[in-house]
Amino acid sequence: MNTFLQLVVNGLGKGAVFALLALGFVIIFKATEVVNFAHGSLVLFGGYLVVVTRDALGWVGASLVGIVSAGLLGLLLERLLLSRSWHADANSLALLTIGVDVIVTEEIVRRLGVTLPFLGDAWDAKPFRLGGITLFRTHLVALVVAAVLITAFWLAFKYSNWGVAMRAQAENREAAALMGIRSSRVTATAWLVAGLLAGVAVLFIATQDFSGAGLSRGTHSIALAAFPAAILGGLDSTAGAVVGGLVVGIVEALSAQYVSFDFSKSAVFLVMLVVLVVRPSGLFGTRERTRV
């Protein structure tokens, strides 16, 4: 029973990080209906800047730089590429982000070479015990940070002007524009926020506790697990992103223990497939209705 509890706790810790990433997907999707395949490269980019600036700025400074630059890269992508292709539909833009992802990821992986730095100096690899359960600090910090950020986001989404604008745009883009909502501003901030969340997430992913590996191509593939998280929650549901993230974390932890480590990556996708077969737009996603 203790093992099980332990696994669930670990899964929640990982799941919190997946939730941050999945929330990024969902914010972008809500604002623009574009699925951002470049999310993994935002993660890598933030992590890479942490590595580059760490010697000069120390861990805190470097982490801030990393988070902000991941956000700015998101913003830049939106401003330079996506906002200029208004004639293209959302699906083509999703394909465009694949192109971005290939370039950014390959370049960063090339720059990293064989050095695979760990990022979570502040808390990494200092597990402590609590009533028979070993807790990783990375997971605990991740849970707290994710809880704070997600609550903050949810409050902003619910009560701030930005949140109202965002919800209006998600509801009906044209009507929102007619009511005076600056759609380009909403879109740009959505990408910024998603990038910031990715920048936070990488601080946890490239650690000993989380993946056992430093910043590498593997970080990008871990970020890919946020895809099933966002999809199984429902691409246009913020609550779904959080639930999806936690489900993915727990499924991964349980299947790695009870089946095999190799299987855990596919287990996440299998669970997603099962959910999709039953509910084609995810657990909390809006059903698409066709009118003829």
Q: Which stretches of the chain bind other proteins, using CB under 8 A?
A: 35, 81, 84-85, 87-88, 91-96, 98-103, 106-107, 110-111, 113-115, 217-218, 221, 224, 227-228, 231, 235, 260, 262-263, 265-266, 268-270, 272-273, 276-277, 280-282, 288, 290-292
Task: List, in order, residues 6 or more apart from 191 with CB less than 8 Å away.
Answer: 28, 31, 36, 74, 75, 77, 78, 82
Q: Measure the CA–CA gap between 157 and 167, rounded to whole angstroms.
A: 8
Query: Rounded to the nearest whole angstrom, what is the least distance from the CB of residue 25 to other proteins in the complex?
Result: 10
Nearer to other proteins, 36 or 63 (CB): 36
Beta carbon nearer to other proteins, 181 or 224 = 224
How far is 144 from 33, CA to CA, in rounded Å?
Answer: 30
**What does the DSSP 8-state code read for residue 160?**
S
Q: Quick one: 195 exposed, middle or buried, by C-beta within 10 A (0-12, 13-18, 19+)? A: buried
Alpha-carbon gap, residue 172 to 65, rounded angstroms: 35
- Cβ proximity to other proteins, 84 vs 185, nearer residue: 84
What is the smallest separation between the CB atom of 224 and other proteins, expressed in angstroms?
A: 7
**SS3 of residue 144 by DSSP:** helix
Cβ at position 30, least distance to other proteins in Å: 13
Give me the DSSP letters along 265-284.
HHHHHHHHHHHHHHSTT-SS
- Map residue 119 onto helix, strand or coil: coil
Half-sphere exposure for 136 (CA within 13 Å, toward CB): 24
CB of 117 to other proteins, least distance (A): 13
CB of 85 or CB of 134, closer to other proteins: 85
Which residues, 6+ apart, have CB-to-CB distance to 76 below 8 Å?
A: none
Task: State the nearest-atom distance from the C-beta of 263 to other proteins, in Å.
Answer: 6
Question: Shortest gap between Cβ of 290 and other proteins (angstroms)?
Answer: 5
The CB-of-102 to other proteins minimum distance in angstroms stands at: 4
Using CA atoms, how far apart are residues 246 and 12, in angstroms rounded to an integer?
Answer: 6
Helix (H, G, I), strand (E, B) or coil at 133: strand
| Residue number with CB closer to other proteins (151 or 260) | 260
Least distance in angstroms from the C-beta of 24 to other proteins:
15
C-alpha to C-alpha distance for 96 and 38, rounded to whole angstroms: 9
Q: Which is nearer to other proteins, 7 or 230 (CB)?
A: 230
CB nearer to other proteins: pick between 145 and 273: 273
- Using the minimum distance from each CB to other proteins, give the nearer residue, 43 or 100: 100
Residue type, 43: V
Nearest residue to 264 via CA among 254, 272, 274, 273: 254
